[in-house]
Structure 1
Amino acid sequence: MKHVPQARPKSDVSSAVGLVGLAGLFAWVAFARAFPDIADAFGWAVPRDTLGGPNSALVGLLAAAIPMAAWSIFVEKVHLRPSTGLDWSLRRTRKPDRGATWVKLAGLWATWAIIAGLYCLCRWYWDGQYVFSMQVLGYAALPLVVLSVPYVFWIDRALVNQRDHAWHFGALLLMRPGWDLAEVKKHWQIWIIKAFFTAFMISIIPFAFRTIVSADFAEVAARPERIALTIIEAMFMIDVMIGTVGYIVTMRPLDAHIRSGNPLLGGWVAALICYPPIVWGILGGGKAINYEFETAGWLHWMAGNDALIALWGALLVFLTGIYAWATFAFGLRFSNLTYRGVLTNGPYRFTRHPAYVSKNLFWWAAILPFLVTSGSIVEAIRNCFFLLVVNAIYFWRAKTEEAHLLAEDPKYREYHAWMARHGLLTAPLTKLWSRLKPRPGIAPQPAE
């Protein structure tokens, strides 16, 4: 019989980490909005505009990341956890192996060069929103190479297993003995995830940030739909900014390193089809799975009824709030397709996949795919069918993520079992599934 812990397993990420990051981000947004008044007060000879540009959005990442990193190190002292793979006493007792460190740096630099080459080859990275990502990564390239030298030499002194994934790839390239193909594969799983999602996340932060910094709150307050839409955009900004920090700050001293990438092909397929460039041709943006054909959205159908608009807008704000909460609850550790510890608090105390649940419910509530402007029942059925297909894709993603984490961490297995018994949403769904699924060993009886 499966062991079910009496209490919810302790989370590897405290609630405080995400909250201090949120406070830092809000402080920068407030400063960026108030900048014209601040410039007037100090008599600065600068344009009197709000700081809603892309460079200010990048500063917003720092405003969120620095408080989270500081809290993690100075308050929670995560750098001392065994899960970091670091033992700081080794810096005093172990002789530095500079040869191994240079092999590791060679593997790291070669990885970055290959990723840069792939960015250059893939045309979609040089059009539209992705141009900003390429500019940022281009400016960051030289500082990263330079800073990687002291960082890797410093961290290598305390690394318990000095022959990590990067070392194995470097040894392969330099034809040094001892490299392991399995470790090289793990190295590339991690870096493909970082390269793909970091470029995407950076590409969308300017829009998310500018929308909130430049919003006219007096105009917003005049209409219930504007209030709802602006709050939804703010929740989107939180998700994007904190999520981007998670992809960038994957450092062992912060216990935020990627311990493994999802090894399941199905997990990669289910995740990547939800993002550009694949999403442009398959899901809602393309024609293969289009659930928004002849739809007009919730505001169209509720026009003229302010009470209903306010009520429905509150529902959409609630769903988006859960989605943003599910991201900033990760603190420094948000990323797709990875294992970076186990999160059991925040919205994850109610269901294992709060982001997917809230996102998919939001699409149904915001798009209303069963209402079409042409009045065609056929088109309404098509829209509902294809949105159910998208829901099924996210269910598939959830199951592949669970399979990855169940194989990696006993704590996740305990959390998985606890949620099946106690989760507000998970427990009733688990009971329902147990009643519906066929019981093993009971074959259907033939008819007389």
Structure 2
Amino acid sequence: MTKKVSVAEIRQHGTEDDLWIVVNGEVYDMTEFAPEHPGGEEIIHQHAGRDASTSYNEIHSPSLIKKSLPTTCHIGTLDTTTIDVAWKDQEKDANSNVDTTVDTISEPKSKPDLSEIINLHDFERVAEKFLATKPWAVIHTGSNDNITRDANNTFLNRIWLRPEIMRKVGQINTRQTLFGCDLSFPIYISPTGGSKLGGGEGEITLARAAAKAGIVQCFATPSSYPHLEILEATEKHAFFQLYVNKDRSKSEAAIRDAIATGKIKALFVTVDVPVISKREEDERASSSSGPGQARDKKGAGFARLASSFIDPNVCWDDIKWLRSILGDIPIVVKGIQRASDAQMALAAGCDGIVISNHGGRAADGAAPAILTLLEVNRICPEVFKGMKVLIDGGFRRGSDVVKAICLGASAVGFGRPLLYSLGYGQEGVEHAINSMFPHPDTSN
């Protein structure tokens, strides 16, 4: 029988050395886990001896804590008959520090009908209006002055198409095969940590929409849902994005658990953020949420707090380590920003690369992704023959995808735009994907 835990008992465990919290009515001992929390221990310390449900549910699925912690950490269930005025006041104080402008996104009746959304820019405009301040900032921000984030898109507008005519294009084929996955279009869903911030069920919704649209999701290490839960919702195949943990055994365990499902067709190891950049829009939103919000000494911000586990010492020798775990499963290095590193990836035996600057979230001032693709095409064309070359960053239209394909890319990743579409649920994500290729003979 589950133990009933009183409010008075929970309050007695409110220090860093003896730390209990309540999440969705369940009481957990977080003393040993707090220092290892991927989002940083500060946020857990903030709720020591208190109810952390509101802060937790902003980002995580209800099942994540149950599946991530050992059963020994579960103390019991909150005895609601013992809740007093002081406990309720503490909850109010905690909730006042959480952005509840809307519950992630407003009710559908407050937004334009989905039929009125005709491109990815429309989804972004709706998200800016209806997403709560903090989720919008986390998704929208780049690093520093957002120079690279914005250049990713504007430089696509400086690449001109040279249409050929009289080529019998009555029947065309937009399909692509990527690491054994058949794609309806040469695109995939890029990994984005904490996708639940965009709305609904985050990665679960993205997985279902990807299957319906005939593409593949690459889900992130710091997902809102347990990896195996995402894979359960995945109809056929997925890609898994890895941030290498400082504790390599944890990365290895995560990889082995994922590939054991038989659904992982490639591992994308992200290498462009060994140290998390300064993301000022995110920091301001976190700071404005109130003095109780968790911070580290380097500044507030979801991204910095959620990435404390990433190993800054990842190097080319680690490809051999990954190969020993993955066997024949393709390894893709995500975050290539210069031609020489594309050559290094080929020499290291990688199966693919993603030309990416983390959506302008890595080093501000780095070259826009499409320009790096052009550089690789000019300097080391042999790379395209030896492995798959993917790209992400700033793509908003089917015509942008065509430009990347013309320059040698095999497929294009979409991250932010599909998070914006989550406010409309699975139907919204499917609509976003199809809006880029509404007719098989056009790209919009």
TM-score (normalised: structure 1): 0.26
Larger helix share, 1 or 2 = 1
Larger strand share, 1 or 2 = 2
TM-score (normalised: structure 2): 0.27
